């Protein structure tokens, strides 16, 4: 039996990019991939423009809260995707790391956040394709029986 892959999204404040990425992955992969997000210096709350941009596509991230990046969350993840957290992101051998260069939505309105949201969606679709077996229908757990 195989376990489902796990992904950790990390940005500085865990309030915009990483939260949108986590929202997209939960929406598009269902329960087939375990989703985490964290920040090296978490904000007090999620960016309202990121929440609004995601609501426009039917994804509610308003119930999420920024979380601190921990060694344990990195160790428990198969894939770590960083979005501008720099040297604060710990490195562990055997993990798959990707650094996504994305505009920071902090301080921007929803009009400026939409392109970031859409770029994240495209990257999430590629990520899912790389992690899940071909032909696995949406919503199917990524577990062998």
What's the mean pLDDT in 114-140? 85
Residue 11 pLDDT > 70, yes or no? yes
What's the mean pLDDT in 101-105? 91
Distance CA 37, CA 112 (A): 22
By annotation, the residues acting in catalysis are 11, 85, 89
pLDDT for position 94? 86
Residue 145 pLDDT > 70, yes or no? no
Task: Measure the CA angle with vertex 113, ends 111 and 118; round to 5°.
Answer: 105
What's the mean pLDDT in 37-63? 96
DSSP string, 70-89: -HHHHHT-SEEEESS-GGGS
Q: Lowest-confidence range among 16-25, 27-36, 55-64, 94-103?
A: 94-103
Task: Evaluate the CA torsion angle 137, 127, 117, 13 in order and state its sign.
Answer: positive
pLDDT for position 122? 97
């Amino acid at each position: 039996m195989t376990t489902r892959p796990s992904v950790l999204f990390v940005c500085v404040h865990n309030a915009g990019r990483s939260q949108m990425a986590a929202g997209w992955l939960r929406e598009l992969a269902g329960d087939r991939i375990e989703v985490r997000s964290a920040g090296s210096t978490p904000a007090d709350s999620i960016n309202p423009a990121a929440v609004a941009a995601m609501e426009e596509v039917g994804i509610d991230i308003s119930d999420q809260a920024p979380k601190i990046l921990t060694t344990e969350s990195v160790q428990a993840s198969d894939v770590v995707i960083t979005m501008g957290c720099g040297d604060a992101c710990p490195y562990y051998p055997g993990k798959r790391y990707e650094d996504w260069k994305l505009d920071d939505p902090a301080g921007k309105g929803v009009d400026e956040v939409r392109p970031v949201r859409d770029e994240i969606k495209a990257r999430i679709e590629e990520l899912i394709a790389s992690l899940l077996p071909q032909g696995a229908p949406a919503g199917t757990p990524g577990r062998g029986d």
